[in-house]
Amino acid sequence: MLKCTINGKEVEVKEGTSIIEAFREHSEDIAHYCWHPGLSVAGVCRLCMVEIEGNPRLQIACNTPVTDGMVVTNQSEMVKDAVKWGLDFHLINHPLDCPICDQAGECGLQDQYMKFGQYDSEMGQAKVKKKKVVDLGEKIVLDTERCILCSRCVRFTEEVSKTNELGIFNRGDHSEIGTYAGKPLNNDYAVNTVDICPVGALTSKDFRFRQRVWFLKDKPSVCTGCSTGCSVDVYYNKEGMWRVKPRHSEVNGYWMCDEGREIYKSTNVMTTDFVGERGSAKAVKKENRLTQAIHINAGDKNYKTATESLNSLKEKLDSYSKAALVVTGQYTSEEYDALLGFWKSQFGTDNVYHWANNEAQFNDFDGLLIRGDKNPNTKGLLQALEKHGITAKKDVTSLSDQDLVVVAGPENQWVYDDIHVIAKALASNKKVIWMSACHVDAAEQAGGHFHFIPTKTFAEKSGTFVNFDGREQSFEAVDLFVDQALSLTEAVALLKGESVELSETNKVISVSNEFVHERGQL
């Protein structure tokens, strides 16, 4: 450990810590743009200037390691002047289009100007004009005028995604970020560049112009896109969920994949016509969110509330002699425990099926975050099965002539390629209870007797996911977006005839959109 003095505070830091890390560790404000904890040091924004005792020149905190006994400050007049001018240099050619900029509210320039700047600009000359709308790829749009050339995105494609699509072209104040010819920014992690962009230069096509960020609240959760289980922040307001951003953790570092960012779409109910790229296989209509229980008997639809539906089922439970349970890896460990426990006592352990979909690809890994197992909690399911002494069967399609089949269906149904096959096969059974957060067109069209019960998505319930290497990650509910939705635990409790505290289910967000003052971190 090294002892040093930061802004008059005596602190201890680990060897090899840079000054900027020491400042942040001890919650001292320090201006910066180009430095990012997950990327290499570029040292180009020249904002993290500090004064080190015994050194007449200001040094940049990001590239200077702390030495023992170092006395360093960023409160001196010299530093304040350097930061003020550093900001002014950033801003002289930056268009002040904050009112129409998507980054406004979570913009590094705005935040740092309010913290360290607050001066009148002396720039009276015409600003440099550059291209305003540059299409970088399927997911990202660039505004070269807003760009402050911090090179974070370039370093990201170099060091993290290792795809090298981006570069800085030209020199001086006509420098621009751009993609190399014929190499659009379409890698699997591309939207991370939008997250790390400190200004509104890179914006996500999925999110831009949809919401003002100061009307969005955020809560931590865990990504359900695959078995990696990245830590995420879910951004939402009363109109639904709007985006998912990575939250720093040991599991995922600072990043998440673009596929994972789609998970919020299974929950959005109100505002988008389509979720996912229009016309692509992943597109899901907004009506696809299941909002109430539907019973389909020979083509007739019959709507009930989920509670009513389960209550009527409860009365007939004992009359089913042949029953089977089909589970997917998309629910929490707590839900599995409740469901399997109930099933064991009611129907025994023989007829439990694990619907795994693409099991051959479960061990695929792209080397960074994306795994072939597209379920967040396969490990948790296997643990629960073991706990209850159940050996699950795999061939779901062989199920026929059952009196009752209960399916805990997938929440992200677009990753289940075989959903049509399974739904068709199950239609030959006398009664199918399909629990799922989404409509399953395949099942609705399969004929037979399907009963759909809406379940909660990951954002609406709390619980635990066990990721690929056995790490248990608990998360809290973000909010409730569909008042009929039940978790499996609640559904089981209803079937058992227990009284369920459905307070959460009645609390669909209906408050007005509040102004959020603090938004994100640079």
Partner 1 sequence: MEVKLLTEHYSDDNYRTLEGYKAKGGYEDLAKAFKMKPEDIISEVKASGLRGRGGAGFPTGVKWGFLPNNGETRYLLCNADEGEPCTFKDRMMMERAPHQLIEGMIISAFAVNSPKSYIYIRGEYVYATRVIEKALKEAYDAGLLGKNIMGSGFDHDMDVYVGAGAYICGEETGMISSLEGKKGQPKLKPPFPAVQGYLKKPTIVNNVETLAAVKYIIRDGAEAYKKHGTEKSTGTKLFSVAGDVNKPGNYEVPLGYPMIDLINNECGGMKNGKKLKAAIPGGTSAPILNAEEVERATLDYECLAEMGSMLGSGSIVIMDETRCMVDMLKVIAHFYHHESCGQCTPCREGTGWLHKLVSGVVNGTAQVSDIDLLCEVANKMKGRTICALSDAAALPVLGIVPKFRDEFQFFIEQGYSKVQGRANA
Contact set with partner 1 (CB under 8 A):
41-47, 49, 57-58, 63, 81-82, 85-86, 89-90, 92-93, 122-126, 128, 148-149, 167-168, 170-175
**Shortest Å, Cβ 180 to partner 1:** 12
Cβ atoms of 18 and 31 within 8 Å: the answer is: no
Looking at the Cβ atoms of 35 and 343, the one nearer to partner 1 is 35
Q: At what angle do helices 333-347 and 378-387 cross, to 10 degrees?
A: 40
**Shortest Å, Cβ 198 to partner 1:** 12
Looking at the Cβ atoms of 179 and 221, the one nearer to partner 1 is 179
**Shortest Å, Cβ 41 to partner 1:** 7
**Shortest Å, Cβ 57 to partner 1:** 6
**Shortest Å, Cβ 16 to partner 1:** 14
Looking at the Cβ atoms of 176 and 441, the one nearer to partner 1 is 176
Looking at the Cβ atoms of 44 and 317, the one nearer to partner 1 is 44
Return the half-sphere exposure (C-beta side, CA atoms, 13 A cut-off) of residue 374. Answer: 19
Give Cα separations from 177 to 37, 165, 166, 195 (angstroms).
Answer: 21, 10, 7, 16
Look at the block and give the residue holding tokens 């589970």: 327
Q: What is the CA radius of gyration of the chain?
A: 27
Looking at the Cβ atoms of 43 and 372, the one nearer to partner 1 is 43
Tell me if residue 65 falls in helix, strand or coil: strand
DSSP alpha helix (H) spans, 272-427: 306-316, 333-347, 378-387, 419-426
Looking at the Cβ atoms of 116 and 343, the one nearer to partner 1 is 116
- Eight-class DSSP state of 113: I
Q: What are phi and psi of 386, to 5 degrees?
A: -65, -45
**Shortest Å, Cβ 415 to partner 1:** 40
CA distance 192 to 165: 14
Cβ atoms of 338 and 488 within 8 Å: the answer is: yes
**Shortest Å, Cβ 44 to partner 1:** 5
3-state helix, strand, coil in the chain (%, to 5): 30, 20, 50
Tokens (6 digits) for 325 = 């349970």
**Shortest Å, Cβ 55 to partner 1:** 12
DSSP states along 25-61: HTT-----SS--TTS-----S---EEEETT-SS-EEG
Tokens (6 digits) for 463 = 């619980």
Looking at the Cβ atoms of 43 and 341, the one nearer to partner 1 is 43
Look at the block and give the residue holding tokens 């061939």: 395
Looking at the Cβ atoms of 74 and 266, the one nearer to partner 1 is 74
